[in-house]
Structure formats: C-alpha cells, structure tokens
Chains A and B, each alone.
Chain A
C-alpha cells in the first residue's frame, strides 16, 4: 500500500474546517466587542483565567487552536500555489512547521496557566 501523509493532513483540514466554520465567527464577534470597548464578561482576566486553568477549558482551547492552525496552514499551502508560488515542498514545510510551532506553544502556555 502506498504510504502518504495525506490522510493525516487532510483529516485535520476537514475537522479544522468544520470547527472554524462553526465557532470562528462568534469568537471574532466576542473579540470585536472587546476591541470596541465592550469587553464580554468572560474575557476579563479573572474569569478567562479560571476557565483556561481547568482541564475542560484547556482541552477546548487546545482543540480550537490546534485544529485552526493545521487546517488554515493546509489551505494556505494551496493558496500559495493558486497565487503562482509553486515551490510546493518549501511552502508545505514552512506552513506545517509554523502550525507545529504554534501547537507546541499552545501546550506550553496552557501548562503555565
């Protein structure tokens, strides 16, 4: 059987695409409210810290950031190609490396909470 990393990469794309479709707009609305000076109660330091310090909050934050990073990295790879930057191997290594660094950073920050 041919070995390919495609199912893994595409799996995170499908899961991440679904996740970003469902939750990213409402998250943007919440931070937009914060940006316009109407800070949602939950985004205050005390409440958000309490949420993110619990195991459930950590899991939610990790899943959202991990899947967003990997799905958008994959789509960014295709977008580079579509705009005429066809050094696909270089682009792929770069975007997936960024997603990997972001995933590890997420774990480190969550561990420090």
Chain B
C-alpha cells in the first residue's frame, strides 16, 4: 500500500502567469535564449574571420539586415536584465564578511555595478568607440 501525499495541481505551462514574481523569474530565465543565440552569432563571426576577409565581410553584411538590428535591440534588453538580476543577487551569492559584520548588500552589488561600468567603458575604448 502506498501513501498518497497531497499534490497541489500546478498548470505545467502557464504557472508563471499566476504571480508577478514568477513572471520576473521567467523573464530572467528566457534571457538565456537571447544570450545563447547571440553566442552562436559570435561563433559564426569567428568562423568567418578564420575563413578570410571576403567571408568576414559577408558576415558583417548579414549583421546589417533589419532582422539582425531588431534581434540586437531585443537581446540587449534581455542581456541588461540578466546583468541587473545577477548583480542584485550578488550579495546573497558572495556575502563579504569582515570581522563580525557583513558588508551591506548595497556595497556588494554597488561594487559590481562600478566594475561593470568601468569594464564596459574600457572595452568600448579598446574597440575604438567612445
């Protein structure tokens, strides 16, 4: 004879519409679709770069398609959302304890934001854009 524990019915595919918190969770999860596709685009760019100037020029040409611009805008929005969520949980993931005290959450996530802005400016500068 088996025990029959109570199992709460949860709709498999629509559960996250039930609460804004679940929606925010899913928004963060789907960032992986955009960042994943973008990573494949970078990989294709690397492949074309290794094949020669004409092939790489073809890759840049493909980047200039209207669909590519639209994808970049969407992907950038999701990617920024991923960055914000990542930095905002950083105090939980990397608590910094000095003596008996923990650094305040704002210091830990604030530090991430400062490093992020600095690094982004540095990469832009390196790429010749400022």
Contact = CB atoms under 8 A, between A and B. Distances in A.
Interface of A: 14, 17-18, 20-37, 39-43, 45, 48-49, 52, 61, 64-65, 68-69, 72-73, 75-76, 78-79, 82-84, 86, 102, 105-106, 109-110, 112-113
Contacts of A36: 64, 69
Contact of B47 (A31, A39, A76, A105): A105
B32 A72 contact: yes
30 contacts: A25-B83, A26-B123, A26-B124, A28-B38, A30-B124, A32-B72, A34-B63, A34-B64, A35-B65, A35-B69, A43-B127, A45-B53, A49-B49, A52-B49, A61-B46, A64-B42, A65-B39, A65-B43, A65-B46, A68-B39, A68-B42, A72-B35, A78-B29, A79-B29, A79-B33, A102-B39, A105-B47, A109-B43, A109-B47, A109-B50
B46 A22 contact: no
Interface of B: 12-13, 16, 26, 29-33, 35-36, 38-43, 46-47, 49-51, 53, 56-57, 60, 63-65, 68-69, 72-73, 75-76, 79-80, 82-83, 86-87, 93, 112, 115-116, 119-120, 123-124, 126-129
